[in-house]
Amino acid sequence: MKFFERIAWLKLDGDDLRLGLTCFFSGVLLAIMTGPEGNLVQPVYAFQHSLFSSHVWGFLIFGVLLAAASIYRRKVRTGVIRSSRTVARRKPRAWLSDVVFSADLTTKLVTGVIALIAAVIIADFTGPFVPDKMGFHQIFSQFSHTRTYGYIAIIFWLLNAYRVRRHPKTQSTRSPSFLGSPGAMIVGGALGGLLFALCADPWLPVRFSFKYFALHGPSDNVFFHHWTTYLWTLVGLMVGVQAVNKKKAAARPASSRVRRVRHVKVSQNTRLALYGGALFVAVEMPKFISPYWQESIFQQIGIFCLLAIGLNVVVGFAGLLDLGYVAFYALGAYTNAYLTNALPIHPPFVLNAFFSIPFAILVAMVAGVLLGLPTLRLRGDYLAIVTLGFGEIIYVLASNLTSITDGAGGTGPVGSFSMHIGFAHFALNGLAITDDLNFYYLLLAFIVPILFLFNSLNHSKVGRTWAAIREDEVAAASLGINGLKYKVMAFAIGASTSGVAGVLSSVKLGSLFPSDFALQVSIFVLVLVIFGGMASITGVLIGAAFIGWILQYLIFHSFIDYQDADKFMYLGAILVLTMIFRPQGMLPSKRRQREFQDSDAGLGSADAMGTAPEGPLS
């Protein structure tokens, strides 16, 4: 009977099966992501050399172990089996945890060995694909890679932190006194940041060498010539200082630990100074980066920042889930292509790209109004489905109307920006590499006024009306607010920004293809808004810049065989983690934070798509 009691948790219900299958297929997904490319000509060959390889089997085993651990943890939480913390520990059962998580020198060495083995395996399976992942030479070669030592330090730190958590404030787990001193903690944080900088340095070769620590030599191979070294060292130093402050706070009496919440008030002059500093950095920084990054900050960061600002009006300010936002982006681009005579059909008059911007804004706004009038009576998932269909309609029309858009063959060369008024001479051609920096400054000239306009709009009567509709549309309607009017206004304003982005991007790309306006672009922009913080202009900008930079960084400095086609997989993971740990975004607006706090307290919903609170309004 005792044996059957011990394995009672093996009785799996539907939730256990779903959890286990999710974890298992996560391992399958990781195997596909980091495995070899398939071969459609010889599918049997690809099947044998992809599935029956130690690389794929390693990730499948990882999925099985993760499923078992997750199901066991769920059984503990639901009370089907008792946790090891509530059962008296017996030495024959707990010898492994006691050996690993106790505090003497021998067991710390055992912990180090476990961390070493785990780090080598992780470094092996996250590196570029090779046919035999578990081969002796392949595993041994991981010790020549810098990232392996970073994995060792991180895993050892996690195991040691877990040990301290299991045995808090006991004589056996007490570290030497000098390690707990403030100076040692600060120095340890700085050394940790230095180690992380060494492991994540994008300019150093993958293989480790002591020549990196030389003070003279080629700048690419000298560790102390890189600004990231000092950045991460400073971050580690701040972590050490924070640990010292937490230790001092824990040593104080409980009555003195309670601190009043301090509200930081920023004066108008300070805010203007911060805006001026940010603008100065945005203007001056691109001058000192490589041409590759000059193009990236325009096409992959700047354009998506502009798109995210416009979608933030729809999703963040008004609380409307729009999955077809790329349609307005495509309409702006093809309007510019038509007016600059890049399509098979010829316009009545040919315009410069500068003068086609008002027409692109007008076309995008009209499309937003025509879409919004019949559909914005819907809300939630229904609105998302309708807007998704609108985006797909525009994409299909761009692909199939070859007599108008040239279809998948692409349009002709889109006209350039040029202006010759008096002493002002300005000309930008998308095919000229030397114009990348000038394109960025042109984009900045559009973004800055739009930011001030939208910020003023958010704090105006219209912005407060959007917030009321977002929180509770029924309550807003009871106060006499015409919800349809203001929702259509949000759609039209967001669409106009997308139209401007379409004109700028079309000139830089040179030729337009329907694949440039696929559904994935809408999803990407939506992730930027959610990650940065809905209804927060600063958060959306920082989120768009960060994700755009990190995706380009992975392409330029790839240690895990990253491909551009994999970005949507990583974006999905970022979106899921954001929804779990910080649904309000990285830098949400104050109004949005209060909405989430009220939603958690049961006083309302975080947006108009949620269910209305029960009970009387207060």
By percentage, how much of the chain surpasses pLDDT 90?
16
484 pLDDT exceeds 80?
yes
> CA 447, 451, 454 angle in degrees (round to 5)?
130
Domain presence at residue 486: yes
For 390, what's the count of Cα atoms within 13 Å in the CB-facing half-sphere?
Answer: 26
> In sequence order, what are the residues at sequence separation of 6 or more whose Cβ sits closer than 8 angstroms to the Cβ of residue 395?
326, 327, 330, 514, 517, 518, 519
Q: Which of 87, 106, 123 is the last residue of a domain?
A: 87
Contact by Cβ (8 Å): 401, 411: no
200 pLDDT exceeds 80?
no
Q: What is the pLDDT of residue 575?
A: 82
Q: What is the pLDDT of residue 432?
A: 58
Helix, coil or strand: residue 132: coil
> CA 249, 254, 260 angle in degrees (round to 5)?
75
CA–CA dist 433, 194 (Å, integer): 37
Q: What is the pLDDT of residue 414?
A: 86
Q: What is the pLDDT of residue 311?
A: 93
Q: What is the pLDDT of residue 278?
A: 84
Q: What is the pLDDT of residue 34?
A: 52
Domain presence at residue 245: no
Number of domains into which the chain is organized:
2
Q: Which of 87, 121, 148 is the last residue of a domain?
A: 87
Q: Torsions phi, psi of 511, nearest 5?
A: -130, 145
- Please give the C-alpha separations between residue 541 and each of 378, 451, 464, 481, in angstroms, as whole numbers: 29, 10, 21, 30
In sign, the C-alpha dihedral spanning 177, 183, 189, 192 is: negative
Average pLDDT over residues 113-123: 78
CA–CA dist 552, 246 (Å, integer): 37
Q: Which of 31, 65, 87 is the last residue of a domain?
A: 87
271 pLDDT exceeds 70?
yes
pLDDT digits (tens, 9 = 90+) for 332-363: 999 999 998 889 888 888 888 888 999 999 99
DSSP states of 145-194 = BHHHHHHHHHHHHHHHHHHHHHSTT-GGGPPPGGGGSHHHHHHHHHHHHH
- Please give the C-alpha separations between residue 287 and each of 236, 292, 297, in angstroms, as whole numbers: 29, 12, 12
> In sequence order, what are the residues at sequence separation of 6 or more whose Cβ sits closer than 8 angstroms to the Cβ of residue 287?
437
CA–CA dist 515, 407 (Å, integer): 10
Query: pTM for the whole thing?
Result: 0.62
Q: How confident is the model at residue 474 (pLDDT cuts 50, 70, 90)?
A: confident
- Domain of 77? 1-87
Domain presence at residue 67: yes
CATH of residue 308: 1.10.3470
Least confident window among 238-247, 249-258, 366-375: 249-258
Q: How confident is the model at residue 465 (pLDDT cuts 50, 70, 90)?
A: very high
pLDDT digits (tens, 9 = 90+) for 274-294: 888 888 888 888 877 777 777
Which tokens in the block code for residue 300? Answer: 């992959």
Q: What is the pLDDT of residue 270?
A: 78
How far is Cα of residue 90 from the mean position of the Cα atoms in its chain? Answer: 45
CA–CA dist 237, 281 (Å, integer): 25
Contact by Cβ (8 Å): 24, 30: no
CA–CA dist 564, 551 (Å, integer): 8
38 pLDDT exceeds 50?
no
Mean pLDDT over all residues of the chain?
76
Question: Which helix (DSSP H) or strand (DSSP E) does residue 550 occupy?
Answer: helix 537-556
Q: Torsions phi, psi of 222, nearest 5?
A: -110, 115
Domain presence at residue 173: no
Q: Which residue has the higher pLDDT, 454 or 148?
A: 454
Question: Which helix (DSSP H) or strand (DSSP E) does residue 425 occupy?
Answer: strand 424-428
CA–CA dist 421, 125 (Å, integer): 60
Contact by Cβ (8 Å): 364, 498: yes
Q: How confident is the model at residue 64 (pLDDT cuts 50, 70, 90)?
A: confident
Residue 428 bridge partners (DSSP): 417
> In sequence order, what are the residues at sequence separation of 6 or more whose Cβ sits closer than 8 angstroms to the Cβ of residue 64?
23, 24, 27
Residue 420 bridge partners (DSSP): 425
Q: What is the pLDDT of residue 392?
A: 92
Average pLDDT over residues 77-98: 51
> CA 375, 405, 507 angle in degrees (round to 5)?
95
Domain presence at residue 465: yes
User: How many H-runs (helices) and E-runs (strands) does the chain carry?
Assistant: 26, 2
pLDDT digits (tens, 9 = 90+) for 553-577: 777 665 556 677 777 777 888 888 8
Average pLDDT over residues 11-33: 71
Q: What is the pLDDT of residue 335?
A: 93
pLDDT digits (tens, 9 = 90+) for 181-192: 788 888 888 887
> In sequence order, what are the residues at sequence separation of 6 or more whose Cβ sits closer than 8 angstroms to the Cβ of residue 458?
317, 466, 535, 537
Q: What is the pLDDT of residue 548?
A: 85
Domain presence at residue 523: yes
Question: Which helix (DSSP H) or strand (DSSP E) does residue 420 occupy?
Answer: strand 417-421
Contact by Cβ (8 Å): 543, 525: no
Domain presence at residue 403: yes
Nearest to 318 by CA among 383, 365, 370, 374: 383
pLDDT digits (tens, 9 = 90+) for 287-316: 777 777 777 777 778 899 999 999 999 999
Average pLDDT over residues 141-164: 72
Q: What is the pLDDT of residue 99?
A: 47
Domain presence at residue 240: no
Instruction: Quickly tell me which residue has 């030397």 as its tokens.
Output: 434
Pairing type for strands 417-421 and 424-428 reads antiparallel
Q: How confident is the model at residue 265 (pLDDT cuts 50, 70, 90)?
A: low
CA–CA dist 108, 160 (Å, integer): 8
- Please give the C-alpha separations between residue 343 and each of 338, 350, 427, 431, 507, in angstroms, as whole numbers: 5, 12, 22, 18, 14
CA–CA dist 335, 341 (Å, integer): 10
Least confident window among 268-272, 401-405, 466-470: 268-272
Average pLDDT over residues 532-550: 88
What are the DSSP E strand ranges found in 442-570?
A: none
Q: How confident is the model at residue 3 (pLDDT cuts 50, 70, 90)?
A: very low
The CA-based diameter of the chain, rounded to the nearest angstrom, is 96
Least confident window among 15-29, 61-75, 83-97, 431-445: 83-97
pLDDT digits (tens, 9 = 90+) for 219-235: 666 777 777 778 778 88
Contact by Cβ (8 Å): 129, 35: yes
Which tokens in the block code for residue 530? Answer: 């959610």
pLDDT digits (tens, 9 = 90+) for 105-114: 666 777 777 7
Q: Torsions phi, psi of 232, nearest 5?
A: -70, -30
Residue 26 buriedness (CB in 10 A; 0-12 / 13-18 / 19+): middle
**With left for phi above 0 and alpha for psi between -120 and 50, is residue 561 left, alpha or beta?**
left
